[in-house]
Structure formats: C-alpha cells, structure tokens
Amino acid sequence: MTTPPKKTAAEKKGEYRRGTQKKAAKGPSARGAAARAANEKRGVPSVAKPKPPRERSVRDAASRDTAPRDTASRDAASRDTAPREKPKAPKPEGRAPGAFRPVRDRSEAGSSKRRPKPQRSAEAPPSKAGGTVKADREGPMRVQRALARAGVVSRRGADQAVADGRVQVNGAIATVGQVVDPFRDVIMLDGTPVITRVTSHTWIVLHKPAAVMTTRKDPEKRTTVFDLVDDVPGLVYVGRLDFMTEGVLLLTTDGRAAHALTHPSNEVERTYVATVRGDAVTAAKVARRGVELDDGLVVPREVVAHPLGGRRWALEITIAEGKTHEVRRLCEALELEVERLVRTRFGPVRLGDLPSGGARALNSTEREVLEALMVGGK
C-alpha cells in the first residue's frame, strides 16, 4: 500500500478553513480515529466508515468570522452601561446572522420575576393609654376564682368565705369548688350581689404618700389609698405598701392579674430607695451575698449605695420575693437606720415625676409587659 505524501502546513490550514478537515476530537472519538488510522496503515480495513465532513455554508462562515470573540469584556460593558430601569425595546423583525445578542443585566432579570412585596398598611395607632382595658370573656370557673376575679376578696379570702357559707349562687349556698358562669349566674357575698360580668378592667398607678393605709377600710379611720382615687367597684391594690412607705402602687379591678403579679413564681421585680444612716457601702457588699432573715434567706437582685453627705446614703435595692416588710427588715439586719423608704418601680411601672398623692393610668407599653408577667401566675 502506497503511503500518501505528507501535506504541508499551508495545505492543512487551507483545508481547515474550507471545512474539509475536522479538528481532532477529544475523548472516545479521538481514540477511535487513532485506531482507524493505525488499521489503515497496517492494511486492515476499518469497520466503521468515517463520516463525511459537514459542508459549511457561506452564512455559517460569515457568522463565525464576524461574531465578536471577547464575550467577557462585552458582558462587563453591558453590565456597566445598562441603566437600572431600562424601558422595554420592541423585538426586532430580524437579526443578521451572527449579530450580537444583547445581554440583559442579571439584576434586572431577577427583579422582573420576583413577586412585588405586599404594601405595608399604615400602622394602627397605639392603644390609648387609659385606665380601662377590655377584658377577655371567660367561660365557667370555680366560684372562688369568680369572686377573686371580681376583686371583692383575695383568692384565699374567697376560699374561706365559701367554706363559711357566706357565698350564694342563684339563691343557694355555694360549695367549695362549685363551677359557675360569671356571665349567667347571680353570685352574692354576705347578701350583697357581686358583679362578676366584667367586660373591662381599670388600672391606676398611684404615688402613695407616707402615713396612708393600703387597705379598703381602716378601723382607726385613717386615710386609705382608696380615698385618693376615684373608687370603682371591685378595685383592689397590687402589692401593698407599709403605712410609712411611699411610692408606686398599682390598683386594678382585675383580681386575677393582681394575684398573678404578686405570686412568688412570677418574681416581679420591685425597686426601693431607702434613705439610711450607717455604713451603707459595707452593707451593700453583705447584702449582695444574701442576708438570712426570720423567714428565710434574702438575696437582692441589685444593691447600689449613693452618698448623700455625712453618714446618710440612698440605698437602692431591687428584690423579687415580696415578703412582708422585707426591705425594712433587711436594712435592720444590716445595722442601717431607715429614715425614708420609697418604691420607685413595680415591674415595668416606674414612679417617674408623678407627684405624691397623684394618680395616672397605665400606658400601653406597661400593660403589655404586665400581661406577659401574668402568664406564670395563672
């Protein structure tokens, strides 16, 4: 078999540009071509016939020769020069073969497919800061709870009143644990009807002055906290203050809330400022480690001593236990003489600049925080 003469580089280049010679394929096809060439050299006929070269049209050649090659720079230029809000251009009737297809900016393309964000409605104005709060309509409950919720007695007092036979439901003596419907049944305590169909609650923030009793009735006819506010049926105090203690005192018609906010499990913080005489700096250090009182260990959440001059100090104490006379007994155990005691905070409610004897309604933020605190004491 005669070996064909080798072609020059110029002849190969001409054949390649005319499409009569194909590029060497990669992968399995390249291996097959090499095998066929070896067979032909040894005189072994090939099984598979090579495919005839594809005849390229003048249009294809023009398209390849005229199409831009630097696509990376073209894409970059398109992204840099494309406006953010490009108006839609009419689709051309025809495009020359191999003509440049404009690249659409990706940020534009993505935004057209995204769903538009829903228009945010104007925020409703915050609830009016007032003393009246809408109450939730509750279903049947135990008679003791209905009495405490109405605010006429405490939960423990309601248990005792029912046990003593002082409570009537629809004209019959109530029994301990009896289930009633506050919106249907008629409940009486000591012969007086109790308003249990509560549709709203009143909340009052009072700056209790010194020498005022935290009680509804005083046998000695002294001034009570209820003499300082517009009395409302079922109004009760939340966390009593001693006779000579001043500061924040909450009053409400929601007996359930009053019970929950003073329940030990909720650990609602109260902050007091005691004007004292003595070594307040040492006392504060001791108090932070805890002080053993007659009814158990007291560990304040925070104790800070502020100098007032001389041996007088303003001792700021934050507690959460709520024991009887707790701060006064704590100061006595620390060998401090208390001249004045003011509660400046109860939970989220602060005294601020409310004058002594003055009252105000809860604001919406204070109500929201109090409602969250009440969860643990239900």
Catalytic positions are 242
Question: Rounded CA gap, 99 and 81, in Å?
Answer: 19
Token pair for 140: 């049947």
Q: Are 354 and 346 in contact (CB under 8 A)?
A: no
What is the C-alpha radius of gyration for the chain, rounded to an integer number of angstroms?
45
Q: Are 284 and 303 in contact (CB under 8 A)?
A: yes
Question: Rounded CA gap, 78 and 240, in Å?
Answer: 75
* H or E element that contains 149: helix 143-150
Token pair for 238: 């939340």
Question: Rounded CA gap, 199 and 135, in Å?
Answer: 5
Residues in the chain: 378
Question: Rounded CA gap, 237 and 64, in Å?
Answer: 91
- Tokens 């001409």 belong to residue: 14
Per DSSP, the chain holds a count of helices (H) and strands (E) of 11, 18
How many other CB atoms sit within 10 Å of the CB of residue 142?
17
All residues at 6 or more sequence positions from 224 whose CB lies less than 8 Å from its CB, including other chains:
212, 213, 214, 215, 216, 217, 218
Amino acid code (one letter) for 155: R
Helix (H, G, I), strand (E, B) or coil at 117: coil
User: Do β-strands 192-194 and 172-173 pair in parallel, antiparallel, or remain unpaired?
Assistant: unpaired
- Tokens 């019970």 belong to residue: 259
Report the sign of the C-alpha dihedral through residues 318, 320, 226, 363, in that order.
Answer: positive
